[in-house]
């Protein structure tokens, strides 16, 4: 796992937060909630998942085998995200 400096408005799962602001912690918490929801909805079929939270969007990255799995991941992220838009960059291979 690599260390990453987080901007005040960004949190990425599977990375180590180097700032302790309350906002960063909330972003990291939301990112982990989205990741758990995606993995639960897809039965763990999204590989190397990363969830990045910025001020205005949630970015999903990873790999899965079917478009159906990709859609399940996006729907799960949308359920957790509320009004935040989802940028689904999960690759179907």
Asked whether residue 38 is assigned to any structural domain, the reply reads yes
Structural domain count of the chain:
1
Asked whether residue 27 is assigned to any structural domain, the reply reads yes
Asked whether residue 63 is assigned to any structural domain, the reply reads yes
In this predicted structure, what is the pLDDT of residue 4? 36
pLDDT digits (tens, 9 = 90+) for 12-62: 555 544 556 888 899 999 999 999 999 999 999 999 999 999 889 999 999
pLDDT digits (tens, 9 = 90+) for 49-72: 999 998 899 999 999 999 999 999
Residue 9 predicted with pLDDT over 50: no
What's the CA gap between 74 and 78, in Å, rounded? 6
Residue 79 predicted with pLDDT over 60: yes
Domain carrying residue 51: 11-92
* Domain CATH code at residue 30: 3.40.1520.20
| Spatial CB neighbours of 93, under 8 Å, sequence gap ≥ 6 | 63, 64, 65
| Spatial CB neighbours of 8, under 8 Å, sequence gap ≥ 6 | 19, 21, 23, 24
Asked whether residue 4 is assigned to any structural domain, the reply reads no
């Amino acid at each position: 796992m690599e260390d990453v400096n987080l901007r005040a408005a960004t949190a990425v799962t599977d990375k180590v937060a180097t700032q302790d602001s309350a906002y960063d912690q909330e972003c990291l918490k939301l990112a982990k909630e989205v990741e758990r929801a995606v993995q639960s909805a897809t039965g763990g079929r999204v590989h190397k998942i990363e969830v990045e939270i910025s001020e205005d969007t949630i970015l999903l990255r990873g790999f899965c085998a079917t478009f159906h799995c990709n859609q399940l991941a996006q729907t799960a992220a949308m359920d957790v995200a509320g009004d935040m838009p989802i940028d689904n960059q999960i690759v179907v291979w």
